[in-house]
Every structure is written in structure tokens, then in C-alpha cells.
Chain A
Amino acid sequence: MEIYILLGFVLLLSIFLGLELISKVPSTLHTPLMSGANAISGIALVGALMLSAEGQIQNVLAFFAILFASINVFGGYLVTNRMLSMFKKKS
């Protein structure tokens, strides 16, 4: 139980940190920010890798969890990078 209180604490602080960090973003960057944040949500990959693999169902679930999270991670970062490389100030 204690660990959940501690982790709940981390959760709340992170949300407040996130709200503070991104309260003033120029609208130019709304899409890259959203897409970059979307890539970060691929952190579920770490969770997927931690799953146990006792039975057949677990193995199938783990495979698909890793697969979907990987698509999210690779696709998310690449497309954000592609988008950001287009944003430039012309001289």
C-alpha cells in the first residue's frame, strides 16, 4: 500500500510539472508538441517488456503490446522529427 501512495505522489507531481511546462506554447508548435507527446506515450513499450510470459495467452498479449507500442514509438518520433525539420525561419 505504501508504494502506491508514493507512486501516486509521483503521478500527481508529474501532472503538475507537465501543466507548468507546457502552459505557454506558441500555436506554431501545437502539432509537433502533440506528435512529440504522442511519441512519448509509447513509453508503454517499457511496460510491455516487463510483462510475464508464463502461458500462451501472456506471450500473445506481450507480443502485441510490444508491437503496438513500438509502432507508436518509432512512428511518433520520426514523424515529429520530419515535421520539425520543416519549421524554419527564412532569411
Chain B
Amino acid sequence: MNTLIDITIFQNLVYIVSSVLFILGIKMLGKESTAVRGNILSSVAMLSAVSVTLIDVDIGIAIIISAIILGALIGSVIALKVKMTAIPEMVALFNGFGGMASFLIAWSQFTDTQPALLQNLLIMITIYIGGITFSGSIVAYGKLSEKINLEKGSLVTNILVTFFYLSIPALLIMMFVPALSINPNFIFLGFLVLTVLAGLGFVMPIGGGDMPVVISLLNSLSGIAAAFAGLLLLNNVLIVAGSLVGASGLILTIIMAKAMNRTIGNILFVGYASASSSKSEGEQGEVKPINAEDAYLILENASSVLVVPGYGMAVAQAQHVVRELGELMEENGTEVKYGIHPVAGRMPGHMNVLLAEANVSYDLLVEPDDVNPTMDTFDVAVVIGANDVVNPSATEEPGSPIYGMPIIEVHNAKTVFVLKRSMSSGFAGVQNPLFFKENTRMLFGDAKESIGTVVSEFKD
């Protein structure tokens, strides 16, 4: 009897079990009632897959333990300390680390063996996807946390974008001409660097408003990188788990793109560059400001109110006062609903997380399709820091760059309050005719303070 074979068989059996647990876990994550258990199940799957791998390792145990402990510490501290408003950038960061791990795995495999043609091909793909995921996620992190502020069209951005386009033929050459990558070592190292630069160039030109799409796509790519690393290492559980992530990320990406009525290619490579045409329209009328006290009087007499939050609510950290206002209005006999647009905020479901953090019951949240047909029955629609997702140009102006994007049609409500810092346009760079409508009142200032004033009026 050869014990080594027994270990391999045992490992593979456990890998099958964890694959099944991953599948069940991700399925359960898709339902509100089972989501918590789904996440736990998937962590059990991870634990068993990792434990059984540890039975037979080549790397020194000291290296393994120190790396895992350090990783656990860093990961846990970030995860437990982060504010809920900073979730998008943190998911981006973790995502990048996953991509980096696959990148390093493929690199190590390259230095380890003289790869045959097929292996070489897999190594190069894994390095490419992993590297792009890593540096792309770092840029997404930087943009979301407002540490990076390079706009489309700047010199640095253009150079990085050039690297991205160069990286595609480079990948093809590396994949199919293995002899080239082995001989002078610097070619391979150059490819590693180029991949990382390409990731920067991939995400840098994409605007903040398109981040929900980018984050979902990077999430998908990190899974695909892991799946390719699995092909490389001939490991089933990597392939299954990686593909599941790849597929789920892809679906979210498609949902996000649909919610903007744009193709993924348009979001990634075109952006809103053609938006300049609408600027010429200039004056659209006069805005009618309102102060918080008057807003209170109207809200107090309203029998139904729709709250539509956007990224501005996250920036102002206003979710808690929003919930407080909602509760006070309910006590006052007003029916309160929250209209959530799928791409409001900076990641898929961003508004849902913030309102959940503030303890808003999720059955009060409604989607555009549910609320638009009955919009005229709402006495007041309160728009908090949302712009493009309530822009009526999307339904009224065929020439507008956002024409066709499904929106929350607040302009059909009897009265609209727009809470906003200033008159600047949204990320799409499109002027918003909503602000000039007859039934719109602008409540300028910090959303948290404005709502705070209304709340204290209610309490008096």
C-alpha cells in the first residue's frame, strides 16, 4: 500500500464535498432567509478544503502558519473596522488580493517547471487575469476612497491605457511562443510588469458612476483567475469555486449594465465621453429652493412619501437620520417607501446595505419597476443625493446620453424634494431637467444636516 495515493484520494473526496458545499452556499446566499447560513456553509467548505490541503504540503510549515496568521489578522481587522459606507472600496481591495494570489501561483509554477505548451498557455492566462484583477481592483479602491483622482484623457491615464492595449498582443505572444518566455528571463518579468500596468490602464479611465459595473466585473475576473489556477494545478475545488464566482460576478455585471441601459463594452471602453452635446442647451429655467422648515410642513401633511437615496446619502453618512425621519413620518400616519435604483451608489446593492445598517426594514424597499406605475399617487418624493437615476432626460430626451436608462420617475410624484449640495451634474455629466420642473423644490446643503433639521422639527 502506498500511503501517498491514499492521501490524494482522501483529499479529492473532501474537495468534492467542499465543492458541493460551495454550490449550496452560493445558492443560499441568493435568498434573504437563508443568506447567513449560506455564507457560513461556504466558509465551512473553505475550511475543509484548506485543512485537507494542509495534510500534504511542500512549503515549510513555518512559512504557511506565519502567512496565514498574518493574513487572518490583516483581513479580520479591515473587515471588522471598516465603516459600512466604505464597503465598496473594501470589497474591491479584497478582490484585488485574491487576484494577486492567483498571479503569484502562476508565477511560481512558471519558475518551478519547464512548462509544456498547454501549461505555458494556462500560466500566462492566469498571470494576465490575476494581474489585471489585482491592479484594476487597486485603482477601483483608490477611486472609490477618493485617493486616486485621475480623469479620463489625462496624460498618465492615456499612457496606462496604451499599456492595456499593448498587453493584449503581448499575452497572445507569451501564450503561444513559450520559447520566448523562457530564454531571456527579463521578457517574462517584463510581461509581469506589463500585466500590472495594463490593469491600471483598464480601470483608470472609467468614471466613478460606472463603478458598480467595474466592481462586479473584477469580482468575476478574480474567480476566473482562481479557476485557471485550478486548471494549472489540476485541482477540482479551485475550478468549481472559481467558476462559481466567475459566473455570479458576470451575472451581476450584466444586471448592472442593464440597469444603465448600456452594453458592458460601452461602459468599459467608451464611457460618457459623447455627453458633451447636451451642454449646449444651457439654461433650462429657474430652480425653486426650499428650506428645511417648509419641507417639514409639507412632509407633515403628506400621506405617502417615497425616499430615493443615491451616492450623496453615502457621502453625507445620512442613512441614520433618513431612517429616523422615516420612522417619525410613519408615526405621523404617513406611508413611507424607499425607492432603490440598482445602480444608485458605487456598487451593486449599495443603498440596500446602508439602509440595512440604519435598520430600515427591507420590505419597505421598492425597485423602479414596482414604484413607477403608481408614482403619481405619492405626495412627496424625497431625492437624497441621487442624480442620474432620477434624471427624466432618460425618458424624455432621445438625444440625451442616458436616454433609455431605466430611472425612478420621481418627476411624476406630486411634489419632489431634491437634497443636494450644489447644482453640479451627476457622474454622467448630464444636466438634470428634474431640478427645473414645476413640482420640484431644491433643498440645498449637506443631506445629513437638512434631514436633521426636518427631524428636529418633527420632534418639536
Contact = CB atoms under 8 A, between A and B. Distances in A.
B304 interface: no
Nearest to B37: A84
Given A50-B233, A62-B59, A78-B80, A18 B101 contact: no
A47 B231 contact: no
A66 B104 CA distance: 9
A46 B237 contact: yes
B80 A19 contact: no
Residue among B78, B216, B356 having the largest count of chain A Cβ atoms under 10 Å: B356
B350 interface: yes
A11 B38 CA distance: 22
A47 B229 contact: yes
Contact of A87 (B35, B71, B118): B35
Interface string B397-436: 0000000000000000000000000000000000000000
A15 B250 CA distance: 10
A49 B234 contact: no
A23 to B, nearest CB: 6
B32 A41 contact: no
Interface residues of B, number: 108
B217 to A, nearest CB: 11
Q: Which of A26, A52, A68 has the most CB of B within 10 A?
A: A68
Given A26-B32, A51-B59, A67 B70 contact: yes
A56 B362 CA distance: 53
Question: B interface, by DSSP: helix, strand, loop or mixed?
Answer: helix
B107 interface: yes
Nearest to A44: B101
B98 A42 contact: yes
Contacts of A64: 67, 100, 104
Interface in A74-90: 74-90
B22 interface: yes
A75 B86 CA distance: 14
Contact of A47 (B63, B105, B215): B105
Contacts of A30: 252, 255, 342, 347-349, 352
Given A29-B349, A68-B100, A58 B108 contact: yes
A79 to B, nearest CB: 4
B291 to A, nearest CB: 32
Interface string A52-69: 111101110111111111
A66 B67 contact: yes
A69 B71 contact: yes
Interface stretch (B87-95, B141-149, B172-180, B448-456): B87-95
Interface string B229-248: 11111111111111111111
Interface in B101-152: 101-102, 104-105, 107-109, 111-112, 118
A75 B75 contact: yes
A88 B358 CA distance: 11
B241 A40 contact: yes
Given A7-B234, A18-B26, A37-B248, 7 more contacts: A14-B247, A31-B349, A36-B29, A67-B70, A70-B67, A74-B76, A79-B91
